[in-house]
């Protein structure tokens, strides 16, 4: 994983974990790597990974079992909300980009519809 020096590393780790969960690369109930293993893999301080895991636990995206490790949430509504949040952020980014190009709302909708039709979404 390449880190952006402009943003805190723990946030980037959180975002990457969320993307993996949203894409189904990390499944509900799946055990996460230990703090130490994840830190070694990412070449960061274990405290950085701990902060990312802790915040994801506070958001109910992850949960811990004492003495057993950290796991991906098994709650479908949490994962669905995570997917929607990430999709909304991507949509907002697209809309801001399209507006900066001078496109109207109607033109943006037309482009999206054409892309959906062409790509078979």
Query: Around 24, how many Cα atoms within 13 Å sit in the side-chain half-sphere?
Result: 0
d(CA 30, CA 9) in angstroms, rounded, equals 23
CATH topology of domain 9-74: Arc Repressor Mutant, subunit A (1.10.10)
- Looking at residue 110, its pLDDT comes to 92
The reported pTM is: 0.83
d(CA 69, CA 61) in angstroms, rounded, equals 14
Compute the average pLDDT of residues 64-91.
Answer: 95
- Band the pLDDT of 120: cuts 50, 70, 90: confident
């Amino acid at each position: 994983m390449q880190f952006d020096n402009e943003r805190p590393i723990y946030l980037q780790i959180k975002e990457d974990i969320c993307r993996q969960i949203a894409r189904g690369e990390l499944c509900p109930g799946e055990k996460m790597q230990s703090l130490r293993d994840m830190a070694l893999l990412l070449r960061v301080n274990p405290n950085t990974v701990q902060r990312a895991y802790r915040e994801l636990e506070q958001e109910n995206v992850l949960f811990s079992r004492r003495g057993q490790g950290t796991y991906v949430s098994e709650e479908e509504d949490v994962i669905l909300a995570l997917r929607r949040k990430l999709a909304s952020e991507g949509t907002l980014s697209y809309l801001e980009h399209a507006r900066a190009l001078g496109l109207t709302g109607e033109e943006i909708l037309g482009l999206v519809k054409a892309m959906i039709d062409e790509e078979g979404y």
